[in-house]
Each structure stands twice: as C-alpha cells, then as structure tokens.
Amino acid sequence: MQFLTLGATDDVGASSHFLQLGDTGLVLDAGANPSEEGPDRVPDYDLIRRQDDGYVDHALITHAHHDHFGTLPVLVDEFPHAKVHMTTATHQLLEFLLPASARLQQKRKDEGSTTHDPLFSEDDIELQSSLYLDHELRAPFDASEVGDDAAVEAEFFDAGHILGSAGALLRFEEDGRERRLFYTSDTRTEAQSILPGGSYPDEPVDVLILESTGGADPEAEETNRALEEERFCAALKRTMARGGAALVPVFVMGRAQEVLALIDRFKRRGDLSDDVPVYTAGSMRAIAGLYDDTRLTTPRLNPGFKVFDVDQTDLPYGRDKLKRTLEQGPAIHVVSSGMMFGKTLSNRLARDLIGDPDGAVLRVGYAVEDSPARRLTNAAENGKRVTLDEDSGPQPIRADVERFRLSGHSHRRQLLDLAERLRPDKIVLVHGETEAKDWMQTHLRERLPAAEVWRPRQGEPLEL
C-alpha cells in the first residue's frame, strides 16, 4: 500500500491524496487552494504519473467544499477513465457548485481581475457528468481496478461536517489478509445546529488518514458549543442594541446554513427582533433549497427545519447600495467568504464596517494563516491597523471583532479520542498547518504508543 499527498501539506487548501492498493489507483478528494490563482490552485496530479504504473481507477470526493472538490474536472481530464464516487447529497451540490465555479472563473478573467484562464468550463463539466456516481451512506461499493472485481471495497460514513460529507472506509487484501483504511476527511464528532455528529467504523482499522485542522487551537477543546452559541447571540444583541451592523463571514456551504439556523432560533425565542434584516447573497438561497430537499434523506437533528424558511433579504448590487445596508440601522450580514479573501462580499463589507464603533465582525469558522480574516482578528487583538485589501491600505479597527468556535471540524481532543477508538496501526496526518500537525503527532504518540504516526510531504511516497 502506498500513500502520496498531491496538494501542499502545511495548510488546508487543495486537499488531494493518491493511494496505490495493489493494482488499483485511488484519489481521495480533488480540492482547490483558495488562497492561490490559476494552476497554483491545483494539486500536482502529475505526481501520479511519475509513480510506477501510476493511474487513477477511482476518485472519492468526500464533500462539497472547494478545498476538497474544486479541481475535480481537472483530475477527470487528466484521467478520463476514472470513476468518481460521492454521496447522493454531495452529487446534488456539485451539480450546482461546479458550473457556478466555472462561471465565476470566466467572469474574473473577462473583467480583468485575474490573468489566468478558467481551469474548466461548463461544457467540460457536462461532458464528465456521466462519470460521477452517487452512493448512500453505509452502502458498500466496488472501487477496484477494471477487471479485478471486489479487490477494493469502499463505504461512506457520515462525517458530520456539512450536508453530504463523508469519511471513507476502504477494505482490500494485502499479503493474504484483509486490510482496513479509514479516511476521515473533514469531520465533526459532535452535533452542530442542523447536523448530528458523524458516524465511524465499529471495528479497528489498520490505517487512519486523519485531518488535523484544529490541532493548533487549544481554546476550542475548552469550549462548550452551547455556551459558544449563547456568546454569539449576546454579541449580536449588543450590536443590534447600539444600532450597528454585524458582519458574519461564512463559507457558503455549511457555516452559512448553520448560522442562519442559529439566528432563526434567536429570533424565535425573542433575543433578536423579527424586524432585524438578515442580508444574504449569491448561492446561499439555492443551497438552502438543497439542504431542505434532502432533509428527510440525510442525517438531521430536526428533519422538519427548513433553512429556506429563515427570513432573509437579498443584498443589493453596487458598492454604494451595499454600503447603505451597513448604515441603515441594525442589520446582520451573513455573506461569503469565511476567510474574507479579496474581492468577496465579506471583504468589501468589512472594509466599510471596521471603522464604525457601532459595528461588529463576528467570525464563526476556521481561517488559514495570513488570510484577511486571520489578519483582522490578530490586528484587533493587538490594537493595530489591518490591511484587508492592498488597494485600501492599512485601516484602523473601531468595530468589535470577535471569534466564535462554531466550527464544522472536531477539536483536537475529539480527534485524539476518535483515533483511540479506531485503534490504527498507522496514522497519516493531513489537512492541517505545521503547528497543528506538531501537536497532533506528539499527543497521538502519547495516546497510541504502538501506532506509527506519519506526516508525509507533498510528492513523497509513503509505504504503509
């Protein structure tokens, strides 16, 4: 068994890994790096061809976040005979999100905000769609080399991260005995506002490929989710009471729906006035419809809850109109991107808002190092100016800036507990910054002294 990481290893972008299981080649996820542009967003798929007999028979896409699926059309173009597997809900989401990504890339090229050609077009996606196969949770399927039936069997487990998210269990024979490999992808073991916690194999595994996103966040493990939700509610109440606008930067998939569910709860119980407008934009309404359409067929805490029914107001187009929504009394803006990258709505609104002492920027999810969201939090904590966009230059921060741990990821102690429960012989750490992996590796060795813990670098084959 050989493992090869295709994306950069010291961050959470462009998640993609190659497995050689006997004669079968599999790719786990095909993500894009959100902090890069053009070809730099793409994992190094050429690394597969450089391996002996390197080829992709199957690809497993674990969920509909761009850092896990955003370059899937590129992978399929490189390996056109590969079959692509995902959950039914993820397939539905990708039918909407992939064309939207193609259109956005073309728009950015046309308007001159990038010099790079789109990585793929809507026509490319349509031609490839027959290769995308969807599966229900806990329904095993064949993932073997063509002509070698049942050599590799795969099964999806609910990951508890976003709608349709899954971990993947692979069963195969090696040296005359069955082996079991489990890839967590992004996972959350405890419930959120809409989704219950994930599910995992009952029996031990030989190899665990484990995410480490939360490994460098000591405060998260000491945070009670219910108390964090109440702290978020209190921050919204304070901002509304002084007549300000609250900006909540979110990932359009997952965090957006969870935050809207929380705001709806706060309004229903009277903590927030029904009159406070909740501004949203872009694809959030369409994704809310997909959340609702699948509420009876995917894991939910309350199948009766509909995201689409949460009262929302469309953000107007145009810089001046956007700015007026920040100045017309109490309002909540739930917009992307969660990391506040340049040219996104959250970045534009933040630049207009952070100088207002009545306003607030309330972060609810993860942000990579040196992203505008992370820079804003660090600058606010240290009383410094912040540069959210090079054209705007350094700006003073007078608005409240707070972070709330309402992540769709497990915190680091939960990840240790999961590893202990699965009792692997070997653990491969992925999807985390250097500091996060440092902590995880040290503590996994303490918890599971008999297990080998690996931190593979991009392009370095690991024999398991």
Mean pLDDT computed over 189-201: 97
Domains of the chain: 2-217+408-463 (3.60.15.10), 224-403 (3.40.50.10890)
Evaluate if residue 233 carries a pLDDT over 70. yes
Beta strands in 308-451 (DSSP E): 313-314, 331-335, 360-363, 400-403, 426-430
Task: Provide the H-helix boundaries in 192-344.
Answer: 225-241, 255-268, 284-293, 319-327
Evaluate if residue 381 carries a pLDDT over 90. yes
Range picked from 11-15, 221-225, 441-445 for highest mean pLDDT = 441-445
Contacts made by residues 134-140, CB under 8 angstroms, sequence distance 24+ = 134/85, 134/86, 134/87, 134/88, 134/90, 134/91, 135/85, 135/86, 135/87, 135/88, 136/87, 136/88, 137/87, 137/166, 137/199, 137/299, 138/199, 140/171
How many angstroms separate the CA atoms of 143 and 157, rounded? 16
Q: How far is CA 292 from CA 59, 159, 166, 304, in A?
A: 27, 19, 19, 9
Check: CB of residue 208 under 8 Å from CB of residue 422: yes
Range picked from 142-151, 279-288, 379-388 for highest mean pLDDT = 379-388
How much is the pLDDT for 285? Answer: 86
Evaluate if residue 10 carries a pLDDT over 80. no
Q: Is the pTM value of this prediction over 0.85?
A: yes
Percent of the chain with pLDDT over 70: 99
How much is the pLDDT for 427? Answer: 98
Which is more confidently placed, 138 or 130? 138
Question: How does pLDDT run across 330-349, given as a tens digit for each residue?
Answer: 999 999 999 999 889 999 99
What letter represents residue 395's amino acid? Q
How many angstroms separate the CA atoms of 388 and 20, rounded? 42
How many angstroms separate the CA atoms of 252 and 65, rounded? 9
Mean pLDDT of the chain: 94
Q: How confident is the model at residue 292 (pLDDT cuts 50, 70, 90)?
A: very high
Mean pLDDT computed over 364-386: 92
How much is the pLDDT for 129? Answer: 84
How much is the pLDDT for 148? Answer: 65
How much is the pLDDT for 149? Answer: 58
How many angstroms separate the CA atoms of 188 and 415, rounded? 9
3-state secondary structure at position 438: helix
How much is the pLDDT for 250? Answer: 95
Check: CB of residue 43 under 8 Å from CB of residue 14: yes
Q: How confident is the model at residue 147 (pLDDT cuts 50, 70, 90)?
A: low
Evaluate if residue 166 carries a pLDDT over 90. yes
Evaluate if residue 253 carries a pLDDT over 80. yes
Evaluate if residue 150 carries a pLDDT over 70. no
* Cβ-proximal residues to 123 (8 Å cutoff; 6+ apart), any chain: none
Residue 133 CA, chain-centre distance (Å), reads 21
Mean pLDDT computed over 409-438: 96
Question: How does pLDDT run across 346-362, given as a tens digit for each residue?
Answer: 999 999 999 999 999 99
What letter represents residue 411's amino acid? H
Q: How confident is the model at residue 326 (pLDDT cuts 50, 70, 90)?
A: very high
How much is the pLDDT for 367? Answer: 85
Task: Provide the H-helix boundaries in 162-277.
Answer: 225-241, 255-268
Check: CB of residue 134 under 8 Å from CB of residue 140: no
